[in-house]
A and B are shown apart, each in its own frame.
Chain A
Amino acid sequence: MSAARGPAVRAAPYLEEPSASWREHLVGAALAVAFFAVLVATQRPMGVSRDESFYWHAASTYEGWFAGDDHTSRAAVDRYWNENHEHPALMKSLFALGAWLWRAPAGAPPPAPGSLRARLGPELFGMRVATMLFAAALAWMLYVVTARWYGRGAALVAVVAWTTLPRPFMHAHIACFDYAATAAWFATAYALYRAATSRAWAAASGVVFGFAAAVKFNVYFVPPTMFVWWLCTHFRAAPRGARARWALWRLPALTFASVAIVGNLIFVAHWPWLWFDTVRRLGGYLGFHLGHEYYTVLYLGTMYVRPPFPVSFPFVMTFLTTPPATLAAGLVGTGMVGAVIWRKWPGGVLAAWWARWRGGAAAAAGDAGAEARVAVGTDTRAGAGADAGGAPAGAASGGIGPGAYARDLCVLANLGVPILIIALPNTPIFGGTKHYMAAMPYFCILAGVAVQWLVRAGARYWPGLRAPRWRAAAVAAAAAFLAVPAVLDIARNYPYTLSYYNAFAGGNQGAVRADMQRHFWGYAEMGVLGWLNAHAAPGARVFFHNATQYAFMVYQREGLLRADLRFAATIEGSDVALYDVNKIFAETEYRIWEVYGTNAPVEVLAVDGMPLVDVYVRGAPAGARRDWAY
């Protein structure tokens, strides 16, 4: 009997019964809470990036509007909301709320040493809580959705893989939008996925989209992605007759009407800046993002300053900045699911066309065509015969249901689109990997799919894996196997995980050898604050290079930087200069040599030998010339 050989493994046996019971929510919530606790415990040493400092200032400004009495006049709106109006208000408002809740009341005594407030900091932690909550929420969603789609084992691996990606790990802490935007993307895509089969979700998808759009611009790419997904999963089903056609179209019509109307109403309503002069300001907002300026990026030895940017960028960066075991699992999962999708469509259709074109193979063509129609057609259950298995019975004619093809295509589409957007030669590619970070939860889902499938398939050959509890243990062990190298990588780079390169890049040193950008956000200056506190002369003026004056202010307010030190906007006006070691800034370092009369740093912050920040102290009197060897 087949049972003697273990459970049957079909062509795509990674599917399990869909479920999202209270157990899934409980486990998802537990993972979310654990992740949130880790983030809280590790946030303090994370440097203040340029963007975070801008948002800190914007949030502080908005706080004035919330605290004031006049919330509706144009003067009040313009006064407060003009600040950083190139990004919507939701996250910055949440940052402000968090700071307001966390900050000690005016006049309160300083926190006792060792107290929670002293350990977490007086204000910045409050600002960052919103991002950390979004991070926890995403872990929860990722677990529940993956469990529903592919099973609990895959879900566990997906969450472990996602939460231990070193670069996103940094983003999960800071008061910026990128991690929340990833969560918003995930939530919106899932809402639109469910909207294909549920009127309630169709109506609610506009609400989800509205709040997601209020996080960051990126989420505007989700509705087009999911519309194409919907077409791919429905268009072959076009039934005859007006009623049948309406039955097919009504849910997407409701969905996209909800997105367009409800979503955009929420978006406009949430942002006081858009309450006046709405069309012009909305145009300005969209124009800012559609015509975003280009920043210099160093990639494989070439400094790119304008298009065309390398198409390979997001692929190579993913290869070099994802922990290798996670990368391998994700690639295996992507290959498996991609192959299944390809066989269904367009591979099946192409095979049928090819057979027809060759002639003499009508039967084969007919069979393949029929399979393709089934695959993309009305009855996604039909895929169960070959490779679906996860579709609920009765998800037939008219509704797509959470069938295998629809689900797999949804995952692949949301993995591919963020990456492909960045791969376009005219898309600015500053910001390392953060601009296509929305793809990575899907990559981790596929890593989970791969691991779960391997364990189940392995049960055919290793009897020890046949018992469900041993299979579960094996999946858990595999999740730990993925987590250990990733956590080691995080530990080795912490708190500079935004500069992480994996072992295939040769580690951080390898990235320097390959002339890759080490960092981009002026966040690593945090690492030399201790040196400044210990060595800078009283009242010294410090040039913070790529870090902003707002970041300098935050460091002082947080008690991380001596209060007597002063910010210097120029090298000429400074006594101490920090230099963000980066080839694209080389002339800044030379300028420091010239102005300071020395070419020797007095401190170097390095991670595994990769210098991140150099500290210079003014030496010879200004204007004294030296020959710098050349």
Chain B
Amino acid sequence: MTPARAPGPGRLYVLVPAAFIALMGFASVGLGAYWASTAPPRADWVAAAAWVKARLAPGDVVGVAPWWADEARLALGDGPVVALPDLASEVAAGGLWRFKRLWLVSAPALGSGAAGVGDRMAALRPERADGAARFGAVRVRLFELPAPAVPFDFVAGVAAASVRVEKDGKPWAECARPLAGGLGFECTPPAGVKPVHWMKVERDLREMDDAPRACLSVHPWAGGASLVLRWAGVPIGRVLVLEGGLPLAALREIDKPAARPVALRVLVAGKDLGVVEFPVAPGWKRLRLDTTAAAAPGTTAEVTFRVAAPDIEWRFLCVAAHLEGAP
């Protein structure tokens, strides 16, 4: 007689979970060792950085990929170094307009797009064969950048601006007290208005769209007033590139995500080029405004920015602008 078999789970009910646990254990050890091995040794970064620095020319910038490889910045030392999550897109959008060439120093094995950024760059810009090298796990490539002619940079030229607050088309408050180092101007509020720390226009460096952006920090005024920045005798190009947004630090404090945007009106030689709205949302807005209809390239003209918003709490608009295009 065949003895009765005790009830119990089938073999698979035992094998599958056991295999699952075993697989996870082995994968943990194997993958853990693999991930740890993908970090380039410091010597690789140092060798690559030394090679690049020996060839660095004025107008060059070094891009680090992935953006979080601080070992690369450590090795490269002080200088024109950018570490951006999406370097190729930034180049495509014209974000590196200050520079003529880009040295790409990357560790492809680290991920975060570091493996593909070189090829994306190669699809966008001409690559120089004399700028390619490999140092262990670190790769170096060199690309030409568009380097447009820039007749005027409004951020760098903030000291040349005249700033005031206007209400109903009339001057309401003056912002004439220069900040130390020519970094901007402090405003004197009209009688009866309490001075507040944001009553100024200041050159600043803010985190915008995961990147450090040099910009003018401008804060709108309450009661329908407009903050007006004027530059007289600006050498005009063909395009005014306007960039801006609200820094994350300010967005954290704004408790109404649906709040109304900050508006910036641009006038060139008195002609209205339109209003650009900066929503209460993360991001770095970039527009190209044709200035040829307002003023001929190569001439000089007055350029005015008028900043206003219906709600002003924490509306620290970070705005940058420059003119592009030779006459």
Contacts and interface: CB of A to CB of B under 8 A. Distances in A.
Contacts of B95: 630
B214 A630 contact: yes
Contacts of A325: 21-22, 24-25, 28
B180 A2 contact: no
B39 A609 contact: yes
A601 interface: yes
Nearest to A579: B70
A296 B11 CA distance: 49
Which of B3, B39, B68 gathers most chain A CB within 10 Å?
B68
Given A10-B7, A590-B205, A611-B68, A507 B31 contact: yes
B205 A594 contact: yes
B205 A593 contact: yes
Interface in B1-57: 3-9, 11, 13-14, 17-18, 20-25, 27-32, 35-36, 38-40
Contacts of A593: 205, 212
A457 B13 contact: yes
B181 A625 contact: yes
Contact of B24 (A328, A507, A581, A606): A328
A81 B205 CA distance: 43
Interface residues of A, number: 73
Contacts of B74: 600-604, 614
Nearest to A478: B21
Interface string A486-526: 00110010000000001110111110110000000000000
Given A9-B9, A325-B24, A485-B28, A587 B249 contact: yes
B212 A296 contact: no
A518 to B, nearest CB: 9
Given A10-B8, A324-B28, A507-B32, A623 B180 contact: yes
A453 to B, nearest CB: 9
A583 B110 CA distance: 18
Interface stretch (B79-87, B189-197, B301-309): B79-87
A488 B32 contact: yes
A451 B320 CA distance: 61
B78 interface: yes
B295 to A, nearest CB: 26
Contacts of B13: 457
Nearest to B13: A457
B125 interface: no
Nearest to B255: A306
Nearest to B29: A485
Interface in A541-595: 581, 583, 586-587, 590-591, 593-594
B71 A611 contact: yes
Contact of B214 (A482, A509, A628): A628
A508 to B, nearest CB: 7
A150 B289 CA distance: 73
B263 interface: no
A590 B212 contact: yes
A603 B214 CA distance: 25
A450 interface: yes
B162 interface: no
A69 interface: no
Contacts, number: 200
B21 A461 contact: no
Nearest to B206: A587
Contacts of A106: none
B73 interface: yes
Interface in B57-89: 61, 66, 68-71, 73-74, 76-82
Given A10-B8, A608-B35, A628-B214, A598 B68 contact: no
A457 B9 contact: yes
A629 B82 contact: yes
Contacts of B7: 8-11
A458 B35 contact: no
B252 interface: yes
A344 B46 CA distance: 64
A484 B21 contact: no
B298 interface: no
A13 interface: yes
A7 B320 CA distance: 77
Given A509-B111, A601-B73, A611-B70, A485 B81 contact: no
Contacts of B180: 623
B3 A1 contact: yes
Contacts of B23: 328
B265 interface: no
Contacts of A627: 98, 156, 214
Contacts of B206: 587, 590
B70 A581 contact: yes
A385 to B, nearest CB: 12
Nearest to A585: B207
B124 interface: no
Nearest to B2: A1
Contact of B27 (A8, A329, A503): A503
A94 interface: no
Which of A454, A599, A602, A619 gathers most chain B CB within 10 Å?
A599
Contacts of A510: 35, 111
Contacts of A116: none
A328 B24 CA distance: 7
Contact of B29 (A488, A581, A590): A488
B248 interface: yes
Which of A7, A9, A510, A609 gathers most chain B CB within 10 Å?
A609
A606 B71 contact: yes
Which of B14, B206, B251 gathers most chain A CB within 10 Å?
B14
B112 interface: yes
B205 A629 contact: no
A625 B9 CA distance: 73
A350 interface: no
A314 interface: no
A481 B18 contact: no
Contacts of A451: 21
B3 A503 contact: no
A303 interface: yes
Contacts of B251: 305
A4 interface: yes
Interface string B209-230: 0111110000000000000000
Given A329-B21, A600-B79, A630-B212, A625 B183 contact: yes
A5 B181 contact: no
A27 B214 CA distance: 63
B78 A599 contact: yes
B22 A332 contact: no
A285 B20 CA distance: 46
Contact of B31 (A484, A503, A586): A503
Contacts of B249: 587
A102 B3 CA distance: 67
A343 interface: no
A599 B3 CA distance: 79
Interface string B173-208: 000000011010000000000000000000101110
Contact of B28 (A323, A509, A614): A323
Given A306-B255, A611-B70, A599 B81 contact: yes
Contacts of A509: 35, 38-39, 110-111
B112 A503 contact: no
A458 B18 contact: yes
Given A457-B13, A601-B73, A9 B6 contact: yes
20 contacts: A2-B5, A323-B28, A325-B21, A325-B24, A450-B17, A450-B21, A454-B14, A458-B14, A461-B14, A488-B29, A492-B32, A492-B36, A503-B31, A509-B110, A599-B73, A600-B74, A609-B36, A614-B74, A619-B78, A630-B214
The 9 closest A-B pairs by CB, nearest first: A609-B39, A507-B35, A8-B6, A325-B25, A503-B31, A9-B8, A328-B24, A2-B6, A485-B28
Given A457-B14, A629-B81, 12 more contacts: A8-B6, A323-B28, A328-B20, A451-B21, A454-B14, A457-B13, A481-B21, A590-B212, A593-B212, A609-B38, A629-B98, A630-B82
